[in-house]
Every structure is written in C-alpha cells, then in structure tokens.
Amino acid sequence: MTEKEINQTADPLSTAETAICVEHLTKIYKLYNRPRDRLIESLGLSRGKVLSRDHYALRDVSFRVGKGETIGIIGTNGSGKSTILKIITGVLGATSGTVEVNGRISALLELGAGFNMEYTGIENVYLNGTMIGFSREEIDSRLQSIIDFADIGDFIHQPVKTYSSGMFVRLAFAVAINIDPEILIVDEALSVGDVFFQSKCYRKFEDFKRQGKTILFVSHDLGSISKYCDRVILLNQGVALAEGPPMKMVDLYKKLLVGQLDVNTLEVIQTGPKFTGGSGAGEGNSKNPENGPSDVKPDSAVDDGWTPAFPINPSINEYGDRVAEIIAFNILDQNGRSSNAIEKGTECTVRMRVLFHGRVDDPIYAYTFTDLRGTDITGTNSMYEKASVRAMNDGDIQEIEFTQRMDMQGGEYMLSLGCTGYDGTEFVVHHRLYEACGVTVISNKNTVGFYDANATVRLLN
C-alpha cells in the first residue's frame, strides 16, 4: 500500500457508531511582536493597522472515532496534537469547525489541573469528581478505588501543597482513570511516577481496551502507539497528513522526522534506485522485490556470504539521501550459513555492505530487531559500540558485521538496517531499510517478556 493509497481506503467507521466526530476543525492563534500590541489591538487603538499575524495550530482537520476504537495521534512537536485533545474535551474553543462527542469523557491531559493546593487529597477527589459531573454518591462509590490506585498512604489526608511532584501526579491520574468513562482521552500521561506506578497505569489502560472503551491517545512512544492503537492519525504543522494502520503511520512519521517525506504529495523522496539486495551497486539478483522471493537454499552453490537464503520483504520501506547506500545484507547463523531462522541461545551475525556516493566523515552503521507491531526489541549501532569507523569517500565500500547472542523469546520478528551520520551538528539519514526481512527465533523455552534474562533456579531445600 502506497502512502497515497492510505487515505483512499474505505471509511472504517461506515457501519460503526461514532464516539467522536471532528469536522473541519481549525484553531488560529494571534501572534504579536510586542506584548503591548495585544493591548492596543484589544482596545481598538491600532487605527486600522494590523499588529498581529495568524498562526494555525490546526487547519481543517477532520476524523471520526468509532465506539470501542483506540485511535492514536502522532506528529512532530507543535503539530497540534494536544490542541485537538483540548478542543475535544472543552478546554479550548475552536476558531471554526465542529466537534461532536457521544459519551462521558475522562481526560488525562494536564494532570492535576483544577486541584486546590490548600485542599487535602480527599477533598480534591470530591472537587474534581464534581467538576466532571459526578454526584457525591457516585464519588463515594469510587473513592476507595482512587485511594488504592494512587497509593500515597496517609498523605491522602494532607494538603496537596505538601505533596511531592510524584504523589501529585499519582493522585491526579488515579482520579482521572477511576471514574469509569465511556471515552478516555490520553495525552502523554501514561509515563508518570515510578516504574511500578507506570506498570499499573498501563495495566489499567489495557483493561479499558478489553472493556471496549473508546480511547484517543497522543504519545511520542511509538511502541505504545503500535501496540495499542487500531488506527493512527499523522499530524504536521496543524494539518492531518494521513490516517491508517499504526505501522504505516509510524513509518511515515519517522520519515517526516528526518525530512524524507514530501508532505505535499505524501510520496517518499527517493534519490536512488529501489534496494535490490544485490552484492554491488545497482546490480539486481534473485532478491529483487519485483521478481518475488528467492529460491536460493542455505546449501546452494551460490554462497558468497552476501546472498540471503531467505526472502527479502517485497514491501521493504527505505529512504535516505543515498550518499551512503546499503547494497547488500545477510544474516548468518551459528554455523556461518545464511538463515533467518535462528536458534535461541546461539550467536548470529548481521552483515551489511555499504557503498558510498560521497564523503562521509563519521558514518554510523545500525541494526534493530522489532516485533511485528514495530516495537523495538533490541539492536545497536557502531557509535554505541564505540567502533573505530573511518571516513569514507565516493566509491568506497564498507562491510560491517554485528554479532550477538540471540536471547529474544521464540517468535517472529523483523530486522531493520541503517547508515546515518552527522553533517556538522545536523543528524543525517543516508539510507534506512525498515523491516528488511523477517527473522524467526526458534526456542523450546520462553520466559516472560521479549527477552530472556537467562536466570537460573536453585532449590535450597
């Protein structure tokens, strides 16, 4: 699916009941060069002179959220993500456009907004509950759940002004999350408090999803966006660029961050030929996506260490300025054979061959393993490993090997590769291959989570 096609897919809410409907939403702020210009203009003393200029925080944004959906909103800083949430929750008014909400909202925006610092924690629970629209009896029925969730001990009976910042956000989060809303609005609020409280927050979030609650979720944590969201909306400078599956939107966002996305056409800027997986610049082989997966086997006579004996992703996602270009890669198992099926607990090697089309003083070579939803599991780069890289010139070729023990849990993963660097202080992407190929980890013992800590068990009696 191309970036253009993402916006042309069928309306996912055509047969679903709508929880939130945003139509042609625009928010304009007036900016002034001097504080006094605002006063002069507000008093009508500008004598017809325009002292302000318009800044579009949002420009003609439309989307719908079906009941029971979890929708993510991502974008660069200043793209309007928080502004949308504030308008939906009534904190801000729109310049134009409409917002329709069907259901009771709980918003995790600016945690603790509306708290009275002189009141105790208990008193602020009742104050905030009343502001949300609950009766005293409804708050009474939820009070113990809020106290248990906040877990701040006897401080719940002390004035909020005596709280640490951690206790303050714990109480604020507990109030917002325990009122049993139909719609939950979240703005970067899941990573509050210590790691134990964060774990509790994510469990509550997952409970909401299982209960079929509607969730609108803004976060810079792309792993959480990929894991929890059904659809994602990508914003840039107040404009909704695209809407679609989480991984497609995350990929577009990553390109946007490094200036490799044409925001006018949503076509990825390509400055070189499509990656073919060949062993030299521009040469094709059986790994060309146009020709389909290769039939080369691990024991084939064609074994130069650079010919993968497994399929390359036909929809490989690549971009960069191509001053450096990854022209070949491979994965070798513990026996040195090309394979994307690695036995857990054994060593494997990720190889890259990079051709340079210009001078790069300090290239950075990298690889990452992700799960099928795009969450980074592990990986590293030559800079992290303090490898002694050398400056490369036009026509130079660098071959790189990363060797690691495969301790990820048994399952299916994706491998991504990259060559980046710095032009002065500016970070530059020369070539990235996202989801270049699949990797299967074969295991007869899995533990908790993504990674095996290789613990040992000893019975003492």
List pLDDT tens digits, range 116-154: 889 999 998 998 888 777 888 888 998 999 999 888 899
Sheet-wide strand order for 70-75: 105-108, 183-187, 214-218, 70-75, 231-236, 239-244
- 52-74 in b/e burial notation, b at 16+ Cβ within 10 A? eeeeebbbebebbbbbbbbbbbb
- What is the per-residue DSSP string for 335-374? TS-B-SEEETTSEEEEEEEEEESS-BSS-EEEEEEE-TT-
pLDDT value at residue 15: 39
Q: What type of residue sits at position 181? A: P
- What is the per-residue DSSP string for 204-261? HHHHHHHTT-EEEEE-S-HHHHHHH-SEEEEEETTEEEEEE-HHHHHHHHHHHHTT-E
pLDDT higher than 50, residue 276: yes
Eight-state DSSP code of residue 439: E
For residue range 246-275, what is the model confidence (pLDDT) as tens digits? 888 888 888 887 777 777 766 544 444 556
Eight-state DSSP code of residue 160: G
Is pTM beyond 0.75? Reply is no
Cβ proximity of 155 and 123 under 8 Å: no
What number is the average pLDDT over the span 383-409?
A: 96
Question: What φ, ψ does residue 168 adopt, rounded to 5°?
Answer: -60, -50
Eight-state DSSP code of residue 4: H
Structural domains for the chain = 1-103+182-188+213-269 (3.40.50.300), 270-442 (2.70.50.60)
pLDDT higher than 50, residue 301: no
For residue range 70-119, what is the model confidence (pLDDT) as tens digits? 999 999 888 999 899 999 988 889 999 999 999 888 877 766 667 888 99
Nearest Cα to Cα of residue 253 among 269, 273, 233, 279 = 233
Q: For the chain, what's the residue count?
A: 461
**Beta-carbon neighbour count of residue 367 at 10 Å?**
22
